[in-house]
Amino acid sequence: MEITPEIIDRHGIKPEEYKKIISLIGKKPNMLELGIFSAMWNEHCSYKSSKKYLKSLPTKNEKVIQGPGENAGVIDIGDNDAIVFKIESHNHPSFIEPYQGAATGVGGILRDVFTMGARPIAILNSIHFGSHEHPKTKNLLNGVVSGIGGYGNCIGVPTVGGEVKFDSSYNENILVNAMAVGLVKKDKIFYSKAKGYNQPVIYVGSKTGRDGIHGASMASAEFDENAESKKPTVQVGDPFTEKLLLEACLELMKDDSIISIQDMGAAGLTSSSIEMASKGNLGIEINLNKIPCREKKMTPYEMMLSESQERMLLIINSEKIESAKKIFVKWGLDFSVIGKTTNTKNLILNFNDEEVAKLPLSALSDDVPIYDRKWEKNKAPLKKKLQIDYKSFKILESLKKILMSPNNAEKSWVWEQYDQTVMGDTIQKSGGDSAVVRIHGKNKGVAITVDSSAHYCLANPIIGGKQIVSECWRNLISVGASPIAITNCLNFGNPEKDKIMGQFVECVDGISQACVYLDFPVVSGNVSFYNETKNKAISPTPTIGGVGLIKNLDTMMTNNIKEIGSFILVIGKTLGHLNQSEFFREVVGIKDGPPPAVNLFNEKNNGLLVQNLISKKLLNSVHDVSSGGILFALTEMCMSGNIGVKIKIPNNKIMPHEYLFGEDQSRYLIEVNEKNKNEVCKTLEKNSIFYEMLGKTQKDSLVLDKEFNIKLNDLVEINSSWFKSYFKEN
């Protein structure tokens, strides 16, 4: 078949990239070779637009065992335990086919984690949908949630937390970001780098079918009105097989049979074989007749580009083949020796005794074009003096409006579809500041959270980037953890547009600044560009997944108020920043203006002090103050503890609305009992930490002095009403 410019274009390869391919390999590629280039050189796999900026992110601290570049990042949590984690997007497929798209997103990220030898212990997710009024939203929400649950529940890993958000910028491009966390012994971590030539290359897992062909290329382009027609590029998941694959791999990993291992994710067999060989500075030769196929008459092109799920590529010590095979046969999985490593530094594919492709590996991985794309600085909006008649927005009515808005509504409709307690170690599930999962058999745990704040990032990408890392850090502190590292999923529009590229560059800058300052490095992640349809891009949405350690679970903290007659203090200064707040967006209807400033110095100081107070067991409960401000955070504490509070605004320099709904950063609400009050206040003063006394806890109602008094049951009812009415239940 002749390679025409149309065929090149359909493979997402630009004319100048095609020229580069010819010069790199010294010949015109055949169809199979072109397909392989398209799989390796697309944005999703090559990071060609983002690489330059990702390099600026800090990736190391004393706890980091493995940073970006492997299947997932790894951190040390002491006692020979290590935590493996990563977040990844599955946005494009989930929009086309929400159930399978989301399910295989979970499946893919779990494989990244157990490929490294870790048993997955938790799944989290961040999902963004269009406006709740958009005709597609309900179906997409329903499909994505049941897809995430369908996969995680079946494989038996608890889904312990996440976030669900709605905004019209996602109307035609939803976001599905899935994070997985696994536990491994520090001396039993497996890597993807191949070692030694003439070693057998083994294919295990499911058979290869025709699903997901060109999935990664599809995810590297914008959608048009024919997005539906891309359904065949969506993979189909089978969590049952993945469970078998997980158990078989972990069983094989008990000894030293495996030299290297790589899951077949995006770009399937192509990317996994090339990555293993090129990391090991070797070559690889594959006999495609040995690939277990699900369908008849599959061509080399289809086999190499299929993204069928639940498959792994292993390089095994040649003496261990028989014992390894036994394990996979026991679990009912395919096991096929498909080739070997070589010292040629080439990828060679044979089919029906013919060489069907021969490509130098360096051309596929090292020589990927790297773009220094043009970008435009974002015009940061300035704070304007606004003439708002605050009196016309009654505080209680405003709170109710926020509580029943889709973004702030109670989300048990979602969480209850996820098995959160399987494995018996989920100590805090969805609803807390972070999830907490116990390290099996020990009295320590990891705190995990996923956060994003797209409208802050849209208003000011640098501040937004800083804010989201800070919020993630704060959420970990709030449960008594020491934050260690993050993984990030960077969701943006089309990077070929200067404005979008500018959002990306500046968000990464903000993330980097906060990560450096807080010693909170990035150990893994992924970039998802082209979240754009018909020229309309999503809001820039970096999603941050953070992990921290709770050395002793006796000092773990929760956010529910514990006792009547204790005191609520606000840690950190309240300036009353309302631009980009939930109050402005949901109640007043103002959506412009700058996000709240982030002062990393205060962030760190306030956080470390709260951490210190928690570790000394001086606090009853802690909650970070973020979107919705003090009043919303306080309401959540009351509702989850079923104890009320009577408050009086301690600051009369700003309007009550500014005090109660302002979204200034670096703040926490803490509950302190009578006995510890003096010591806590003294410690705060000694360390020059700004705090204010907000109120005192009391029985079952929330009271604002001279303003309102409402029963908690009513607030709970309002907060849980939105999902019920959206899905017309009860």
Partner 1 sequence: MKSSVIVFPGSNCDRDIAVALEKFQIKNQMIWHNDASLPKSDLVVLPGGFSYGDYLRTGCIASKSKILDDVIKHAKNGGLLLGICNGFQILTETGLLPGVLLRNKKLRFLSKNVFLKVINFNNRFCHNYKKKDTIELPIAHNEGNYFANEKEIKKLEDNDLIAFKYSDKEGNINENTNPNGSSQNIAGILNNKKNILGMMPHPERLIDPLLSGEDGSLMFESLIKS
- Look up residue 589 and give its DSSP letter: -
Binding mask 529-568 for partner 1 (x = CB under 8 A): ------------------------x---------------
Q: In what order do the strands lie in the sheet with 159-166?
A: 64-66, 73-76, 81-89, 175-185, 119-129, 159-166
Using the minimum distance from each CB to partner 1, give the nearer residue, 221 or 250.
Answer: 250
Hey, CA dihedral for 158, 164, 170, 172, is it positive or negative? positive
| Active-site residue, selected from the candidate residues 90, 455, 623, 657 | 90
- For residue 91, which phi and psi values (nearest 5 degrees)? -70, -55
Position among 107, 150, 406, 432 found at the interface with partner 1 (CB under 8 A): 150
| Active-site residue, selected from the candidate residues 11, 44, 455, 657 | 44
Window contacting partner 1 (CB under 8 A); options: 150-158, 224-232, 261-269, 591-599: 150-158
Amino acid at 263: D
Using the minimum distance from each CB to partner 1, give the nearer residue, 94 or 241.
Answer: 241
Shortest distance in whole angstroms from residue 146 CB to partner 1: 7
156 lies in the binding site for partner 1 (CB under 8 A): yes
Using the minimum distance from each CB to partner 1, give the nearer residue, 75 or 124.
Answer: 124
Pairing state between β 644-647 and 691-698:
antiparallel
Position among 56, 146, 555, 683 found at the interface with partner 1 (CB under 8 A): 146
Shortest distance in whole angstroms from residue 149 CB to partner 1: 5
Window contacting partner 1 (CB under 8 A); options: 184-192, 193-201, 240-248, 398-406: 240-248
Q: Is 132 annotated as catalytic?
A: no
331 lies in the binding site for partner 1 (CB under 8 A): yes
Position among 3, 7, 31, 154 found at the interface with partner 1 (CB under 8 A): 154
Using the minimum distance from each CB to partner 1, give the nearer residue, 3 or 553.
Answer: 553
Window contacting partner 1 (CB under 8 A); options: 355-363, 419-427, 674-682, 691-699: 419-427
- Positions 434 through 463 that interact with partner 1 (CB under 8 A): 438
Cβ atoms 719, 637 nearer than 8 A: no
- Determine the straight-line distance between the first and last CA of the chain, rounded to whole angstroms: 60
Window contacting partner 1 (CB under 8 A); options: 42-50, 234-242, 355-363, 483-491: 234-242
642 lies in the binding site for partner 1 (CB under 8 A): no
- Positions 158 through 187 that interact with partner 1 (CB under 8 A): none
> Taking CA 206 as the corner, what is the angle to CA 312 and CA 236, rounded to the nearest 5 degrees?
105
Q: How many CB atoms lie within 10 A of CB 709?
A: 12
Reduced to 3 states (helix: H, G, I; strand: E, B; else coil), residue 506 is helix
> Taking CA 414 as the corner, what is the angle to CA 530 and CA 635, rounded to the nearest 5 degrees?
105
Position among 153, 602, 605, 697 found at the interface with partner 1 (CB under 8 A): 153
Using the minimum distance from each CB to partner 1, give the nearer residue, 428 or 531.
Answer: 428
CA distance linking residue 464 with residue 462, whole number of Å: 5
**CA neighbours closer than 13 Å in the CB half-sphere of residue 92:** 32
**Two structure tokens written together for 43:** 């944005």
Q: Write the burial class of residue 198 (CB in 10 Å: 0-12 exposed, 13-18 middle, 19+ buried).
A: exposed
Position among 244, 361, 446, 669 found at the interface with partner 1 (CB under 8 A): 244
- For residue 287, which phi and psi values (nearest 5 degrees)? -100, 105
Beta bridge partners of 359: 347
243 lies in the binding site for partner 1 (CB under 8 A): yes
415 lies in the binding site for partner 1 (CB under 8 A): yes
Position among 49, 137, 233, 241 found at the interface with partner 1 (CB under 8 A): 241
Reduced to 3 states (helix: H, G, I; strand: E, B; else coil), residue 278 is helix
Q: Write the burial class of residue 138 (CB in 10 Å: 0-12 exposed, 13-18 middle, 19+ buried).
A: middle
**Two structure tokens written together for 226:** 């024919």
110 lies in the binding site for partner 1 (CB under 8 A): no
716 lies in the binding site for partner 1 (CB under 8 A): no
**Two structure tokens written together for 7:** 């065929």
The DSSP secondary structure of 337-359, one letter per residue, reads EEEEEESS-EEEEEETTEEEEEE
497 lies in the binding site for partner 1 (CB under 8 A): no
Shortest distance in whole angstroms from residue 434 CB to partner 1: 16
Residue closest to 189 by CA, chosen among 118, 256, 255: 118
Window contacting partner 1 (CB under 8 A); options: 122-130, 232-240, 388-396, 469-477: 232-240
Using the minimum distance from each CB to partner 1, give the nearer residue, 151 or 529.
Answer: 151
695 lies in the binding site for partner 1 (CB under 8 A): no
238 lies in the binding site for partner 1 (CB under 8 A): yes
Shortest distance in whole angstroms from residue 554 CB to partner 1: 9
Shortest distance in whole angstroms from residue 420 CB to partner 1: 6
713 lies in the binding site for partner 1 (CB under 8 A): no
Cβ atoms 309, 242 nearer than 8 A: yes
714 lies in the binding site for partner 1 (CB under 8 A): no
Position among 5, 26, 135, 332 found at the interface with partner 1 (CB under 8 A): 332
Cβ atoms 12, 221 nearer than 8 A: yes
Query: In Å, how far are 81, 421, 436, 474, 670 from 479, measured between CA atoms?
Result: 21, 18, 8, 9, 12
Shortest distance in whole angstroms from residue 240 CB to partner 1: 3
CA distance linking residue 480 with residue 447, whole number of Å: 8
| Residue located via tokens 């003063």 | 685
Using the minimum distance from each CB to partner 1, give the nearer residue, 114 or 584.
Answer: 114
CA distance linking residue 411 with residue 720, whole number of Å: 7
CA distance linking residue 141 with residue 134, whole number of Å: 11
Position among 224, 240, 536, 612 found at the interface with partner 1 (CB under 8 A): 240
What's the length of the chain?
730
417 lies in the binding site for partner 1 (CB under 8 A): yes
234 lies in the binding site for partner 1 (CB under 8 A): no
Position among 203, 418, 530, 583 found at the interface with partner 1 (CB under 8 A): 418
Residue closest to 48 by CA, chosen among 280, 262, 270, 365: 365
CA distance linking residue 265 with residue 720, whole number of Å: 38
Position among 362, 412, 678, 725 found at the interface with partner 1 (CB under 8 A): 412
Helix (H) or strand (E) holding 510: helix 498-518
Using the minimum distance from each CB to partner 1, give the nearer residue, 151 or 567.
Answer: 151
**Two structure tokens written together for 96:** 């086309």
- Positions 46 through 75 that interact with partner 1 (CB under 8 A): none
Shortest distance in whole angstroms from residue 419 CB to partner 1: 4
Position among 355, 366, 416, 592 found at the interface with partner 1 (CB under 8 A): 416
Residue closest to 85 by CA, chosen among 526, 429, 431: 526
Position among 130, 239, 540, 542 found at the interface with partner 1 (CB under 8 A): 239
| Residue located via tokens 């044979």 | 350
- Positions 246 through 265 that interact with partner 1 (CB under 8 A): none
Q: Give the distance between the most distant pair of CA atoms in the chain.
A: 87
420 lies in the binding site for partner 1 (CB under 8 A): yes
Q: Is 44 annotated as catalytic?
A: yes
Residue closest to 123 by CA, chosen among 84, 88, 157, 82: 157
How many residues bind to partner 1 according to rule CB under 8 A? Answer: 31
Position among 13, 96, 427, 472 found at the interface with partner 1 (CB under 8 A): 427
498 lies in the binding site for partner 1 (CB under 8 A): no
What residues are labeled active site? 44, 90
Residues that bind partner 1 (CB under 8 A): 146, 149-150, 153-156, 238-241, 243-244, 331-332, 412, 415-424, 426-427, 438, 553, 729
